[in-house]
Structure 1
Amino acid sequence: MLVLLQRSSRILNTRKTDKPNFGGLDWIKLLAALLVVANHTSPLLSFGSDIAVVLSGIVTRIAVPIFFMTSGFFYFRKLTRDPRTDNRTLRGYLGKIGKLYGIAILLYVPFNLYTGYFKDDFSAYSLFKDIVFDGTFYHLWYLPALLIGISLTSYLYRKVSLDSLLAISGMLYIVGLLGDSYYGFIASSPGISDIYDSMFTVFDYTRNGLFYAPIYIALGAFAARRKQRVRSPLANACLFFGSLVCLLGEGMLLHSTDMPRHDSMYVFALPATYYLFQWALQWKGKSNKVSRDWRVWIYILHPAAIVFVRGAAKAVKLESIFIANSLIHFVSVCLLSIIMAAVAVKILGFRRK
């Protein structure tokens, strides 16, 4: 009997050990949420505009790709190649994200009223364009981009090979690059620029679900469905930091030549995101429930936190501390965003990998 119990214990321990642990991905998504806050608050602006651009205009541009790639990874891990099962998985995923997007739209209606959203050239078409592509508030574009990106990559995944999915997504990303950070290359080309001008009547930016999201979601699918080359954590860390240095060089060069129309999409953001993801998969530690529950709400609520911090600072005449000092402003917004996220999780709840 004792021998049987010992064997059972070993089997259970093996199962626990063999169970995938994605605690590292929890932490990089929490970090990504804070990087998004940094993108919208410029924490280093008080120390100089150049260093502020390096952080807020370049380094933080790996934040949303991290969200897309991890979302693609967890979503495609669930697919079975059985059409009925996979369609149910897709419908469930889109329903959950769609519900979250609807809640976010409603939460920001008071802010839309405050900023004059419904007065400045507002129309049924502009509302449709914002809901489908641009978001009804400046950060909400991510949710429709995720909805479109997951739908598009899921369709392609059923029709073509994984390598073809990556190739098609890569070509879409190149189209997006020319409408974003590399816009200067086509701005003076009448035929091509006219095509992009037509595109910009449908959406404001190419960093959307058609051109931006698919490649990162596809990379997540590649990591989930294709056996990866095993590298040491040190190797992945070096590849990440090397890619990050290249990203910094790319971003500074493009900014110095006034190339970008918008600066969300970079070539070296692709390897930087991929190798950070691979590195994070190797981090030890348990999956963190707190970060898993809060990170999405930090993303959704941080613009409201920015408004509240600025309003409170003005009310108590402490603008010089909480607004003019960009680093204190960033920290304050982060702390308030976390508090608001905790409240939102308690009231509304939303959990997804």
Structure 2
Amino acid sequence: MDLMKLIMAIVVIAIHTEPLVRCEKIAVLNLYKAISDVAVPFFFLASGFLVFDKVIVLPKEEQERIILNYAKKILKLYLIWTVIYLPITIYDYVTNGESLIRNIFAFFKGLIFVGCHWNSWPLWYLLSVFYAFVLVRLIVYKKGLSQKVLTILAVGVYLIANEFTIILNNGYELNGFGQQLIKVVSAVFVNGRIFTGFFYIVVGFLMAQYKQLLFRRKSSEFLFFIAISICGKIATEGLLERCFLAMLAVSVFCFILISKVPDCKYWHTCRNLSTKIYLLHMIVYSFLDIVILDDRYANGLMCFVITIIGTIILSFGLIYFEKKSKVIEKLF
């Protein structure tokens, strides 16, 4: 699990730096897209499963307390890293040519509804996780609704959020009230991405609930589903493609989860490194494209390699000083 989180953190760097931007081989690009799209859903699934797996045997009141504390921790982390990324955010707002009032509104929209600003793309994951755990707490622990209702709501939110994003990305025109609603919602949330984390967190919750049944399955079964999902994702478009993505992400996570990996003293380092790489890499990339290359939209293999090397060096440096500083420890 920890090694896979490290690999997925590196995949996230690839998403943001586009190492294959000049590749023209369709088969390679399709496979790359199928694999890279799994990265963030994998982190959502890991968050949901690992948190609920720890609390599932506890009394319901204790479960709710731990979940609330975890949500508060994630929100605190999100706000801290929003401040850390603030110089990059300010740089964007100063140079984008928009008015001060418009930029202030854009900042608070990004802070509350989108989860990121320019080049702080990784932070939307944190805000989405926060909202997801707040919703699970409300639905399951406050309202006392069943797992069936929770699952139906999660699937519904996932489908609606993705369809909303697809409509925006493809410029589809709706009639009357529907088009007005799309305009209003897109003006607030930009797209439906922030809501998709809820589905994966709920799936992680269900995996924790039925872990024993999950571990009775064979790895080959999930490999089969992975193969089917990749083919389906490549062959389809729109909402169906998003459904195959969900199937692929869940299958990959289940395969990793039930795989028998021997204990290793380096797994903790992998976990520590994956968190830092995920949160730090856009700072390294921003320094590269703003200060060194003077190109705010720089991408390609060189950007990918330099960002990885720089981020790993910075991460190991923070791991070293983390042992001596409580301040650095609280950043992660």
Name the CA distance, whole Å, in 2 between partners of 1:70 and 1:171: 21
Equivalent residue in structure 2 for 1:96, among 73, 81, 85: 73
Name the CA distance, whole Å, in 1 between partners of 2:46 and 2:330: 17
| Max Rg structure | 1
> Paired residue for 2:162?
177
Q: Check conservation: 2:80, 2:331, Cα contact below 8 A.
A: no
Distance of aligned partners of 1:350 and 1:222 in 2 relative to their CA distance in 1, 3 Å threshold: farther
> Paired residue for 1:328?
302
> Paired residue for 2:201?
217
Per-residue CA shift, 1:207-236, capped at 9, x if unaligned?
00xx31111001100100124342221221
Distance of aligned partners of 1:312 and 1:195 in 2 relative to their CA distance in 1, 3 Å threshold: closer
Q: Does 1:120 align with 2:105?
A: no
Shift of 1:171: 0.4
Q: Check conservation: 1:40, 1:56, Cα contact below 8 A.
A: no
Distance of aligned partners of 1:49 and 1:190 in 2 relative to their CA distance in 1, 3 Å threshold: farther
Per-residue CA shift, 1:217-256, capped at 9, x if unaligned?
0110010012434222122122112212211222xx45xx
Q: Does 1:65 align with 2:41?
A: yes
Q: Check conservation: 1:42, 1:52, Cα contact below 8 A.
A: no
Equivalent residue in structure 2 for 1:75, among 40, 45, 51: 51
Letter in 1 for 2:308: C
Structure 1 stretch displaced more, 211-220 or 110-119: 110-119
Shift of 1:76: 1.3
Name the CA distance, whole Å, in 2 between partners of 1:164 and 1:71: 21
Q: Check conservation: 2:44, 2:129, Cα contact below 8 A.
A: yes
Shift of 1:52: 7.7
Structure 1 length-normalised TM = 0.78
The alignment partner of 1:266 has SS state of helix
The alignment partner of 1:46 has SS state of coil
- Aligned residue runs from structure 1 range 125-164, under 5 A: 125-134=105-114, 135-136=116-117, 137-158=120-141, 159-164=144-149
Q: Check conservation: 1:65, 1:273, Cα contact below 8 A.
A: yes
Equivalent residue in structure 2 for 1:167, among 138, 152, 165: 152
> Paired residue for 2:280?
301
Name the CA distance, whole Å, in 2 between partners of 1:343 and 1:334: 14
Distance of aligned partners of 1:120 and 1:128 in 2 relative to their CA distance in 1, 3 Å threshold: same
Shift of 1:86: 2.3
Q: Does 1:87 align with 2:64?
A: yes
Name the CA distance, whole Å, in 1 between partners of 2:254 and 2:276: 25
- Aligned residue runs from structure 1 range 334-345, under 5 A: 334-345=308-319
The number of aligned residues is 309
- Structure 2: runs of 5+ lacking an equivalent: 323-327
Structure 1 stretch displaced more, 117-126 or 218-227: 117-126
Q: CA RMSD in A?
A: 3.0
Q: Check conservation: 1:240, 1:272, Cα contact below 8 A.
A: yes
Distance of aligned partners of 1:117 and 1:212 in 2 relative to their CA distance in 1, 3 Å threshold: farther
Name the CA distance, whole Å, in 2 between partners of 1:172 and 1:50: 32
Per-residue CA shift, 1:40-87, capped at 9, x if unaligned?
111112322856853665432211111111100011123356343123
The structure with the largest helix share of the pair is: 2
Q: Check conservation: 2:77, 2:331, Cα contact below 8 A.
A: no
The alignment partner of 1:218 has SS state of helix
Q: Does 1:193 align with 2:176?
A: no
> Paired residue for 1:40?
16
> Paired residue for 2:325?
none
> Paired residue for 1:20?
none
Q: Percent identity?
A: 22
Distance of aligned partners of 1:196 and 1:33 in 2 relative to their CA distance in 1, 3 Å threshold: same
Moved over 4 A (4+): 49-53, 55-58, 182-186
Q: Check conservation: 1:237, 1:279, Cα contact below 8 A.
A: yes
Q: Check conservation: 2:34, 2:233, Cα contact below 8 A.
A: yes
- Structure 1: runs of 5+ lacking an equivalent: 1-24, 260-264
Q: Check conservation: 1:69, 1:217, Cα contact below 8 A.
A: yes
Shift of 1:98: 2.1
Name the CA distance, whole Å, in 1 between partners of 2:84 and 2:27: 33
Letter in 2 for 1:202: V
